Every structure is written in C-alpha cells, then in structure tokens.
Amino acid sequence: MIALVVGIAYVIIGRLFAVPTTHVQAWRLAAWIVSAMVLAAHVIYAHRRMRLLAARAAFQVAAGVATGGFGLALYAMVLDVMRGTPRTGSWLLALVLWPVLLGIPAFILGYIGATLLSRYDRGAA
C-alpha cells in the first residue's frame, strides 16, 4: 500500500516539476532533490515504522519507485494518444523498462540506506 502511495507521489513530482517552461534545468534538479527526499523518507519509514529488514525495506522502496516509473510511462503514453501521436511499440517497451531501470538503483540505494540505519540503531542502543 505504501509503495503505491509513494509511486503516486513520484508521478506527481514528475509531472508538476515538468510544467514550468523557464529555468528547466533548475526545475529538473528540484525534482531530483524532492524525489531523493521521498526515497529517503520511504527507506526510514520501511525500516523504522514497518520494521523491515534491509532487503525487505529495499524491495519496498524499489516497488514504490518502479510504480512511479510505470505511472510516468503510462502518463506519457496517454498524453501522446490524446495528442494524436502515432502509437509505436516503444511505449509498450517503456512500460516495462522504466520501472525496471528505476527500480534496480532504488533497490540498491534502499538496501544501503536500510543497512546504515540498522547499524546506526544498533550503535545508538
């Protein structure tokens, strides 16, 4: 459930930060920073609130990021269809590749983050 909520947050971030047409690079950087904050909050939530071990927390984080990637690919596909752009097989490929290409690094970052949190929690106890 939390992965779905976080995935929707990534879609909203991706769409809202793409709207301004001035200072595009600054808005992209801001989207990356906000997304990184969401990822960090998700790692902390999965580790501390859900009490998941590092691998499970990382999977939870990767599922949220992959959901966001799928949502963004789906949104872009629907936008192209509404604009009348000819449909190609590349959109079907994007529906698979975006979640995978975003989910793998998110799993790695989630695992590293959850491992560091568990070490910190043991040291603080």
Whole-number Å distance between alpha carbons of 37 and 15: 17
Beta carbons of 43 and 65 less than 8 angstroms apart: no
Residue 22 has pLDDT above 70, yes or no: yes
Q: For position 66, what pLDDT does the model report? A: 98
Residue 124 has pLDDT above 70, yes or no: no
Within 17-88, where are the H helices?
Answer: 24-44, 54-83
The string of pLDDT tens digits covering residues 33-82 is 999 999 999 999 999 999 999 999 999 999 999 999 999 999 988 988 88
Q: For position 122, what pLDDT does the model report? A: 79
If phi over 0 gives left and psi between -120 and 50 gives alpha, with beta otherwise, what is residue 38? alpha
Q: How many residues does the chain have?
A: 125
Q: For position 85, what pLDDT does the model report? A: 80
